[in-house]
Chains A and B, each alone.
Chain A
């Protein structure tokens, strides 16, 4: 018999760190005291942190047990829409851990850091080629940081033309970070409704775009997993009023080698290396959010910038129109190495990545439509959005089905996003899932849809297999307990 995916549960209990340990233990090999002790001014001395004292074994067991309470890409399919949870190659981790990279001090003189600078310079070129943009800054530490950088570039661009625009257009399918990033730069968000096809219409944009609007922030493919077909027309309209096009590149996994973002009118694009370029998410970060721009916006990119001069690399501050620095040093360099390794491992096969990502999503869409309600029945890109409308009669919600998926050994899809679909279920399988895995996921969802009819209470009670069941988030927010 073929083994089915599921959990049978070997879940060990483990207390909080400070509920174990004993004063006098240590999990660290203290270096030798090879200099005489000095005596600090007693008035400066504190008491030292009241941390628990643990042995190395205590620490190893603690975190090993905790780790086993986590779902991860390495344990199973993680079809989290908008997040591109693809497999994170292990060789990339090895490369980032190489001593020459991991131990490098960021302020070493350039002649002693040619390896890191060369890597950064090459990565910039590779990303420019993949996106079809002209120049790249690797400094932003995450997607939202990249958005902020992009909005600062918008601000600096208009300022260089002597104007201060106050508004920015943001479609209703945008990520929540978009309006928050725009606000930091003083732009007021003007929402743009998508049409009945789930995409932007050029006419709607034309009505809203004016000389006080800095530009538009589009996500393409958008958060419904649909390609913004009218993007070129929209770019013409926005550029016609001297506005700029920002593209949230969180969904770039659909378009590598397929669309040249520079050719469709995009002026600024951020990438999420922790999505498209396979670097691990780390339970929330660190990511990296490089920003790619067209030639005319290059002067505004953050400094310092890596430059090549006679085969030697230097860091240059010589960009008077630059928006400045966004990060204490040069961004999440360790993440950059992993993305660089990935790109070198894939080469032009990156196009295949996008093709298979899109194939996988369309396959799921075709196989699950009907079981789940599909609000926009059109060819999708790398993700597709369903809803719980078909289960409404049984009073089974998106949340119930998501939680039930856990009992079957899958991470739930993104739920209740995008907001334009009521009860959204957003599935992004990514290219690294095989057909067998997709079939298992599809079968599982069919089983859950059956359960919704025959035994809805089982879904309301789900999950029952993981370490804990549904948690009381209301009490957590009413009476916050944020430290132990």
Chain B
């Protein structure tokens, strides 16, 4: 596993306590897991994602990420309806390890409440939390 300063946390994203990231683009929000999360999980072998049109509340489980010997739930950073999922992950779950903020994105939603984004952690807050772990 890497040290925290070896990990990458882009500016302009918001982060959750459960190590998801969210990036807003108009009323849409793209969601994935952080570099820290993928590093902790190790080689990701399967990502289970919801179906299009499903809606979830903030904090609700929307899928799971599996390594060879562990399963982790992934939770909604903000509430909304799923409008797009990263289908490439079905055949290439390793993209989450290789590029967690790019080709490793998981779902895109239409957010119900734009104010929810503001309740998420900034990069600085998230880093602070990781250092305290």
Contacts and interface: CB of A to CB of B under 8 A. Distances in A.
Interface string B51-78: 0000000000000001010000000000
Q: Name the prevailing secondary structure of the A interface residues.
A: helix
Contacts of A474: 43, 45, 68
Interface in A357-400: none
Contacts of A473: 68
Contacts of B46: 477-478
A374 to B, nearest CB: 25
Contacts of B45: 474, 477-478
B35 interface: no
B18 to A, nearest CB: 19
On chain A, which size bracket covers the interface?
under 10
B93 to A, nearest CB: 6
B94 interface: yes
13 contacts: A473-B68, A474-B43, A474-B45, A474-B68, A477-B45, A477-B46, A477-B66, A477-B68, A478-B43, A478-B45, A478-B46, A478-B93, A478-B94
A42 B43 CA distance: 51
Contacts of A477: 45-46, 66, 68
B86 to A, nearest CB: 16
Interface in B28-46: 43, 45-46
B96 to A, nearest CB: 11
Interface in A451-484: 473-474, 477-478
Interface of A: 473-474, 477-478
Interface in B88-133: 93-94
B66 to A, nearest CB: 8
A303 B110 CA distance: 55
Nearest to B42: A474
A474 B43 CA distance: 7
Given A474-B68, A477-B46, 11 more contacts: A473-B68, A474-B43, A474-B45, A477-B45, A477-B66, A477-B68, A478-B43, A478-B45, A478-B46, A478-B93, A478-B94
A477 B43 CA distance: 10
A392 to B, nearest CB: 14
Nearest to B44: A478
B117 to A, nearest CB: 33
A473 B94 CA distance: 14
A473 B68 CA distance: 7
Nearest to A478: B45
Contacts of B66: 477
A250 B97 CA distance: 39
Nearest to A477: B45
A223 B94 CA distance: 35
A379 to B, nearest CB: 32
B61 to A, nearest CB: 16
Nearest to A479: B91
A477 B45 CA distance: 6
Contacts of A478: 43, 45-46, 93-94
Contacts of B68: 473-474, 477
B49 to A, nearest CB: 16
A179 to B, nearest CB: 14
A477 B69 CA distance: 10
A478 B89 CA distance: 10
A474 B46 CA distance: 10
A282 B85 CA distance: 44
Nearest to B92: A478
Contacts of B43: 474, 478
A36 B5 CA distance: 81
Q: Which 5 A-B pairs have the closest CB atoms?
A: A477-B45, A474-B43, A478-B45, A473-B68, A477-B68
A448 to B, nearest CB: 23
Nearest to A474: B43
